[in-house]
Structure 1
């Protein structure tokens, strides 16, 4: 990848280097992190609150206060509570499906387009789409419309690329402005922003919902989405050095994503690209799937958490992004990136195993504690994928990664939200054990690639003549 110069990058609109003060209004910055922070804050507030809102609406007033059990006693599931759990899980499935089917195609359209026109447009558009989604949800709440109208907001957000396009744009931006040596840590910093914003959203959302209901937090979702769009439009410097006009509605964008995986000129890189994508798919599927059902798992017996405890639990979950960043920084000094990812997978396996068996609040938080390194694997895989393609393919690559994340969300929502109600009668924590089994596969894939990559290096050194042999010759 061509590295950016140490000074100010060229202004893509002029084609020549621009001084720092050339941008009117506020100085253009080369920090994409605020966009991701604001968008993640919006998503982190919205997702658990929407689940709780669905629980409240679909329970038809049978549960009181902020507790998580319909009967309020916490003594066990009743048939009525199980019906509510199943309804909420299925509505989560329908709402997510509505957005992901649309977003799967819009992300792969906008991502490669950004390689030509720049990253800023693909950050502005999905942020505005998230604002429209929040506005639609507020209308449902104010007017007490049927919950089916929530699908409208989800589809609007999906058409604009949704949160996955913001992820794709931000990671492509970081790939544009970093070199291969520092990229893994830069990607990890960006992922730590996910945890920082998610942790803040979890604490704010739980406390605020308990104090004032659902409307005020959703207004913050709307405001954060609008602020993300404004920052990308007014304050963010473009990272694509040579912008050129490009048609949006063309099959060429989809073909550029397709050629990432079928171009015969890539040689061995093609296999590694496919294997890393498979490992990423399985890992993110488990992340999304377990996260989808965690709030529902905590609301129901035997835990029966209220919104405040749910907020603390989500904050502990998001804290793993920060602890994983610190662990990655320390471990990179002594082991290869792949083995850092393997340690992260082990942390994930242990944490989910404890959560699956948690019947008390202390044991549940113990499971969260064991997840302290669980997010170290994803930045390693993103970085390794980025290093396998050219600088002009970063948008297409991260569109493919975002497409994979959309597919992960689709599969995770379908599998875990269907598995959860189906397992209520024999073991409520079974979906988490299922996630543990899935994580063994990416651990095997990453280890195999690292071992295969090390063999040519060792054989290369074995073939080199020793100093003694050179002297004799």
Structure 2
């Protein structure tokens, strides 16, 4: 029985106590290429929260601010571009009659809004692609709390820039400045990396999938509340007041992390942030299997599950930016309130996915749970691709009620494939992949949407459904392979 199998069986407290002496005895031998101590040397002390809540409020508040500002930013871009071009928005009669050809000016507004969404996303996430893995791997030796605090200050600074743009009616290109400043601090992806790494530090293998799913449910619940509040608030008071709440929420998240989060790793005061060692740790993880090495099959699973995670998350974030555009334009022509309810319905799937995952784990293995989640996502996207009424849109949202069941399973499987001392390096890589998902998803879908308006308005959603068949096939094949191997081993 290997160490990972033992870790899956031993209770968490006993495992922590029994491994402490081994980690200390190995500390003198484990050095990286630069002669610096590895993450194992700085193994976390026993860190047990007195209550079951740890980093969940940090993720809740950060996601609340993100979900509050994202649709409002798209709507603000739409309104500013419409004002510049002289387009009167969805008030034209064509919105109530799908047989009327779309206004060419509306197509131009849609195209420019999609392109500005793309430019802003590209700017922020291209910077984050470099910064996030650096911060995530650094947290392995310097501690998690800093990686939870710093990005929230960056997001608050972005909100300040957005407020200045709205107060002074500066050109929309100034939004890009705010995104770049946020990207330099790690952006929301650094918060994600820190939270998931923290949960991996304090959970055992049996409970990890559900703990990860709880974090993702926090994303959905906060997103649902922010979507409802944002749509109604914007309709009543405009854009500026909601963005003041965005600023306050980011500052509150940073303050909570500073005051209430207990450190889950033993910080090394000599750890340097600007060091190539952090990138080497990620490279070593995927090239050699990490500190303890790994068989080709083990490394292959790591790569395949990472590919699945990349495709699923890229589709999630790529299509999410299109929902608002799709609903703003004819024949739907939704107002801010309906857009808020639609975003809330989508985010409610985080909670329903958590409940569904908990129920399905009683009778299904994690891989089959992930496949059920992907089927839910694919069917919802197919309905979106042909939806031309409000009823069909909400039907699509309803069919997606389990669409987030796949990502916690994939995160958990990746976490279980590596040594406990490499969780920071792993989630640094996952955060890097997630940044790339934002980059690729925004690029592909914001470019594909205006390019396919002339022959099928919902083609982007159909394309997303086809892409999700790839991770479904990989996860199913790996699970069948594992089951055959277990059956062969038990027979022998």
Structure 1 and Structure 2 fold alike (TM over 0.5)? yes
CA distance in 1, matches of 2:125, 2:362: 39
Matched, 1:136 2:129: no
Alignment counterpart, residue 236 of structure 1, candidates 258, 261, 283:
261
Matched, 1:304 2:329: no
Residue aligning to 2:65: 42
CA pair 51-72 structure 1, distance change in 2 beyond 3 A: farther
- Equivalent residues in 2 for 1:109-188, closer than 5 Å: 109-188=134-213
Residue 396 of structure 1 deviates from its aligned partner by: 1.2
Alignment counterpart, residue 218 of structure 1, candidates 232, 238, 243:
243
Residue aligning to 2:110: 85
Residue 63 of structure 1 deviates from its aligned partner by: 5.1
CA distance in 1, matches of 2:392, 2:413: 35
Task: Provide the TM-score with structure 1 as the length reference.
Answer: 0.91
Structure 1: unaligned runs, 5 residues or longer: 21-26, 464-473
CA distance in 2, matches of 1:300, 1:94: 21
Residue aligning to 2:446: 417
Residue 393 of structure 1 deviates from its aligned partner by: 1.2
Deviations 1:15-54 (A, max 9, x none): 987999xxxxxx9986100000000000001110000000
CA distance in 2, matches of 1:229, 1:235: 10
CA distance in 1, matches of 2:487, 2:140: 38
SS in 2 for 1:59: helix
- Equivalent residues in 2 for 1:52-451, closer than 5 Å: 52-60=75-83, 62=86, 69=90, 71=92, 73-74=94-95, 75=97, 76=100, 77-241=102-266, 243=268, 245-263=270-288, 265-267=293-295, 268-451=297-480
CA distance in 2, matches of 1:187, 1:336: 16
Deviations 1:297-341 (A, max 9, x none): 000011110000000000000000000001100000001010010
CA distance in 2, matches of 1:309, 1:19: 43
Residue 73 of structure 1 deviates from its aligned partner by: 4.0
Residue 69 of structure 1 deviates from its aligned partner by: 2.0
Residue 71 of structure 1 deviates from its aligned partner by: 2.9
CA distance in 1, matches of 2:197, 2:177: 29
Structure 2: unaligned runs, 5 residues or longer: 21-41
Residue 391 of structure 1 deviates from its aligned partner by: 1.8
CA distance in 2, matches of 1:400, 1:70: 46
CA pair 72-247 structure 1, distance change in 2 beyond 3 A: farther
Question: 1:328·1:376 contact (CA, 8 Å) conserved in 2?
Answer: yes
Residue 5 of structure 1 deviates from its aligned partner by: 3.6
Residue aligning to 2:74: 51
CA pair 243-455 structure 1, distance change in 2 beyond 3 A: farther
Task: Provide the TM-score with structure 2 as the length reference.
Answer: 0.88
CA pair 456-353 structure 1, distance change in 2 beyond 3 A: same
Aligned residues: 450
CA distance in 2, matches of 1:40, 1:63: 33
